[in-house]
Structures are given as structure tokens and as C-alpha cells.
Structure 1
Amino acid sequence: MSIEEIPQGANVQILSKDEKKARDLIKKLNLKQIKGITRVTFKQKGNLIYAIDQPDVFRSAAGTYVVFGEAKVDDMNKRIAEAQAQAAQQEALTKAAAGSATDDKSPESITADLQAASLEDKKIEEEDVDEVVDESGLDAADIDIIIDQTQVSRTKAVKALRKHDGDMVNAIMELS
């Protein structure tokens, strides 16, 4: 059968003489063929990747693999650039869908947003200041360290220490 006689779209493998010999030797070595693998990649320094699409993969009992297929060079830098461009395009679509409220970049709008955010923070801080928390059983130095590390109110620091049974590390992690 010649190449011209093969119907278009048929899944036919044309193997070289050496590849046929190698496959016959693999059968004699009792290697098991692994089905379902669609791509095998090998990475070298400098983001250079060799990829084999639709490979024939065989595995030995010792865990070594033999892979047959055509290796093609795949440049990771190109793929990264494509992914970044796609992410930027997705972000632009998200911003466009958000509406005109986020599009307003006038100084007055920015100032109003900052003032609203600071007022919310002050309300939360005022709530914490008004509340008196029992510090008995806790070391004052531990509370001061948590306040210094996380820049929160004393009330929040005490609550976090109580929640974590005096464990400063977990209290700081929660507040950070």
C-alpha cells in the first residue's frame, strides 16, 4: 500500500525500519504499553521544552519509560507571553463589564472613594476602642508585640490571643 492509497483522515502509522526493530525488542522485554497519554514533555535549561504529541509510551516493571513519537521544540517563553496577553485581554473585558462606575478616574471621584474608605476604617476602630476586653491571664508584653506587628487595636489583639489560647504566632497570622 502506498501513501497515495491511504484514505484521508485515516489513523495510520508509518514506521521506519529501526523503529520497527525497537518496538519488537520492547515486546520481548515485557514492557507494558500505557494508554491515554496525549503529551510527553522534556524540559531543559532556559525554558526549552521538547514535546511529543500522541506518543506511544511503554513502562518497565522497574519504573523506567520508553517513549516513541516525533519530538518538537516548544518554546515556553512564547507560551508565557501568550498566556499574559490572554490574561490582559480577559482583565480588559472584566473592566468593561464592570460599568462606568470604575471608569471615572477624576480627582474628585478618587478623593471621595478614599474618604469613604477612611470613614469606614474609623468606624471599625471606634467600635474596638469603645469595647473593654478582659486581659487577665494574658501577658501584656505579648499583646504589645501583636499590636506592633499587626498595627491593630489592643482589643483586636486580645481577642486574637484569646481565640488562639495565647499562641502569638497564630494570632499574628490571623490579624496580618
Structure 2
Amino acid sequence: MSAQQIPQDAQVNIISKNEKKARELIKKFNLKAVPGISRVTFKQRGNLIYAIDQPDVYRSAAGTYIVFGEAKVDDMNQRIAEAQKAAEAESAMTAAADDKSPAAITADMEKVALDAATASNEEEEEEEGEVDDSGLDQKDIEIIVEQTGVSRAKAVKALRSHDGDMVNAIMELSS
């Protein structure tokens, strides 16, 4: 089968004659395959690293390892420089997105305070309308408002949900 006949997405290992002979000898020497190793690296002076990705690793009984795979040279100095460039670019983008100047912080705080005030005003407006307190004792409503510090509408609502039971209404509103 030639290289032109191999599908593009196929996982094919092309083994040289020497590697084929070495693998046959490994079988004769009773070496055991070591599964689960995804990368083997060898370090040389000057931060020069030889890396083998997805290697075939075999181990002898004496603790000697044999590694098969394509060795590639990794230059750690180049890798470190690339990582620093990426970190600088990321920090520049983060700094542009997160403006932490005093003016920006003050503006953000004012916006949050304005949103909170608007929400509480809308809630109070809903509660300040006419409250139907028919069937409830006015003194009970006043005691609940006094004890819990809520609006009259909330006190009436709590009393109605507990069928006029003041104790349970106060417990609900104070929790």
C-alpha cells in the first residue's frame, strides 16, 4: 500500500526495518510493555529537551527502559519566551477590559446604588397602594408593623397567609 492510498484521517505507524528488528528482539528478551505513558523527555544541558510524544515504552526485569517513538527537539528557552509573550498579551487585554481607575470604580458604585434604590422604590410603590384589611384586627396589624418594621401591606399579607395568627405572621416577617 503506498502513501497515496492511505486515507487522510487514518492512524498509521510506519516502522523502519531497524525498528522492526528491535521490536522482534524485545519479544525474545521478555520485556514488558509499560502502558499509560503519554510523553517521554530527555534533558540536555542548556535547556535543550528531546521529547517523544505517544511513545512505546518497554521495561526489563532489571529496570532498564526502552523507548520507541519519534524524538523531537524542544527548546525550553523558546517555550518560555512564547509563554511570556502570551501572558503579556493576555494581561494587556485584561487591563483594557478591567479599568480599575478611581473614577471607573466610583462610577460602578454609583450605578449599583442607583439600581438598588430604583428597585426598592418600585417595591415600596407596589406595597403603598390601597390595602384590603377587612376581617383583620387593626391593632394586630399595627403590632406586626411595630415589631417587624415592615410596611402595612406586608403585615396584612402575612396575617392573611396565616389566617390571622399574629405569632406566625411575626415569625415569618422577622426571619
Q: 2:78 is matched with which residue?
A: 78
What does residue range 82-161 of structure 1 map to in structure 2 within 5 Å? Answer: 82-101=82-101
> 2:57 & 2:93 partners in 1: Cα distance?
42
TM-score of the pair, normalised by structure 2: 0.53
- Describe the superposition over 1:119-167 as per-residue Cα deviations: whole angstroms up to 9, x where unpaired: xxxxxxxxxxxxxxxxxxxxxxxxxxxxxxxxxxxxxxxxxxxxxxxxx
The amino acid of 1:34's aligned partner reads: V
> 1:81 & 1:103 partners in 2: Cα distance?
36
> 1:51 & 1:24 partners in 2: Cα distance?
24
Distance 1:73 1:90, change over 3 A: same
The amino acid of 2:51's aligned partner reads: A
What does residue range 156-167 of structure 1 map to in structure 2 within 5 Å? Answer: none
Q: Give 1 or 2 for the bigger CA radius of gyration.
A: 2
- 1:26 is displaced (CA, Å) by 0.7
Distance 1:16 1:98, change over 3 A: same
Q: Does 1:25 align with 2:49?
A: no
- The share of aligned pairs that are identical, in percent, is 68
Q: 1:53 is matched with which residue?
A: 53
Q: Which runs of 5+ in 1 are unaligned?
A: 105-176
- Secondary structure of 1:3's aligned partner: coil
Q: 2:34 is matched with which residue?
A: 34
The amino acid of 2:66's aligned partner reads: V
- 1:76 is displaced (CA, Å) by 0.9
The amino acid of 2:78's aligned partner reads: K
- Describe the superposition over 1:54-92 as per-residue Cα deviations: whole angstroms up to 9, x where unpaired: 211112222221111111111111100011111212222
Count of matched residue pairs: 104
Moved beyond 4 Å, runs of 4+: none
Q: Tell me how large the CA RMSD over aligned residues is.
A: 2.1
TM-score of the pair, normalised by structure 1: 0.53
The amino acid of 1:88's aligned partner reads: E
> 1:72 & 1:87 partners in 2: Cα distance?
25
> 2:47 & 2:7 partners in 1: Cα distance?
39
Distance 1:79 1:5, change over 3 A: same
The amino acid of 2:96's aligned partner reads: A
- Describe the superposition over 1:28-79 as per-residue Cα deviations: whole angstroms up to 9, x where unpaired: 1221212232221111001111111221111222222111111111111110
- 1:24 is displaced (CA, Å) by 0.7
The amino acid of 1:53's aligned partner reads: D
> 2:30 & 2:102 partners in 1: Cα distance?
65
Q: 2:4 is matched with which residue?
A: 4
